[in-house]
Amino acid sequence: MASNKPTYSPTELKEHQRVMRELRQQGQAAVTWGLPNPATEAAVLGMGLVMREKLADAGSTTRATDAAALAATMLDKTIQKMPQAPAYQCAKGCNFCCHGAVSVSAPELFRAVRLIDSVSGIDRAGVIGRAKARSAATFEAVLDLRGPCPLLIEGNCSVYEDRPMGCRQFVSTNAEGCRTAFEKRAGELPYVPGAANAGLILRSLLMGAAASLGLTAGTYELSSALVIALEQPDAEARWLAGEDVLAGALGTPQPPNMQDSVQRWSQMLASLYV
Ligand code: SF4
Ligand code: SF4
């Protein structure tokens, strides 16, 4: 059967290799500097490219975790260089924002689970029990419970260094405002909007990278997804093999255009490899 792969002339091949090299350089720069300002399409695509190359590293059993770590580093660097950064009041142990619902993609989930497995002293059964206790029919219902995240142990996030992007992207210059919203059990916490937007861009890139490799690119409510990932030790390997292993988890609503954005990055990334 004839191959559908295009045949490049030597000149075209050289040009393709140059483009890939430049995109890769831009993506690597974001590990140090975060999203550039302005965030050109080429720079953002380069960030997706390095995430995809991590996820595609078939020799690595930690490739989902590694891709999630890359996205989280890019997000942290982006947030650290925002003008509001000197006034951030977020710190480990400040947990008013840990009483709600968290949305995760599969790589972010598996990264947190790997940390749970690697650190002695985190009681898996306890996490599963607390996660099941937070089950509800919809993401909004979990949010309304305003209960503690199952990963919150004695007031501290047990996966703080490897926490999902949905937690990292919410930063605030007003911890008292966070306390008030928490104590009143109503209203939005006073987050920095630009940081949350950066989180959405980086998650759509991570999901686009996954989708471009034929992997399921959904978002899930953390508690329900944790139960699956902790009760099925091979969940990460099965997801990497293309199985929709989190199909039974509670899906989360996505911001407008998120799916379009994931689809677009997926197509653009896949087109680099034809
Ligand atoms: S967002 Fe608010 S509650 Fe969460 S860590 Fe920052 S200051 Fe604390
Ligand atoms: S994962 Fe950690 S930071 Fe995120 S909500 Fe749970 S306890 Fe808080």
Residue-wise pLDDT for 36-81, tens only, equals 988 899 999 999 999 999 999 999 999 999 999 999 999 999 999 9
Contact 165, 114 (CB under 8 A): no
Q: Of the bound ligands, which one is closest to the alpha carbon of residue 99?
A: 2
User: Ligand 2, atom 4: nearest CA belongs to which residue?
Assistant: 167
Residue 105 has pLDDT above 60, yes or no: yes
Mean pLDDT throughout 123-140?
92
Please give the Cα distance from 13 to 29 (Å, whole number). 24
**Smallest-distance ligand from the CA of 84:** 1
Best residue among 88, 94, 95 to mutate for probing ligand 1, ranked by most atoms within 8 Å of CB:
94
pLDDT of residue 187 exceeding 80: no
* Two tokens, residue 254: 């996505």
Which pLDDT band holds residue 2 (cuts at 50, 70, 90)? very low
Q: Is the pLDDT assigned to residue 226 strictly greater than 90?
A: yes
Cα dihedral angle (266, 60, 23, 11), rounded to 10 degrees?
Answer: -100
3-state secondary structure 14-71: HHHHHHHHHHHHHHHHHHHHCCCCCCCHHHHHHHHHHHHHHHCCCCCCCHHHHHHHHH
Find out whether the beta carbon of 163 lies less than 6 Å from any atom of ligand 2: yes
Weakest-pLDDT range from 120-124, 172-176, 244-248:
120-124
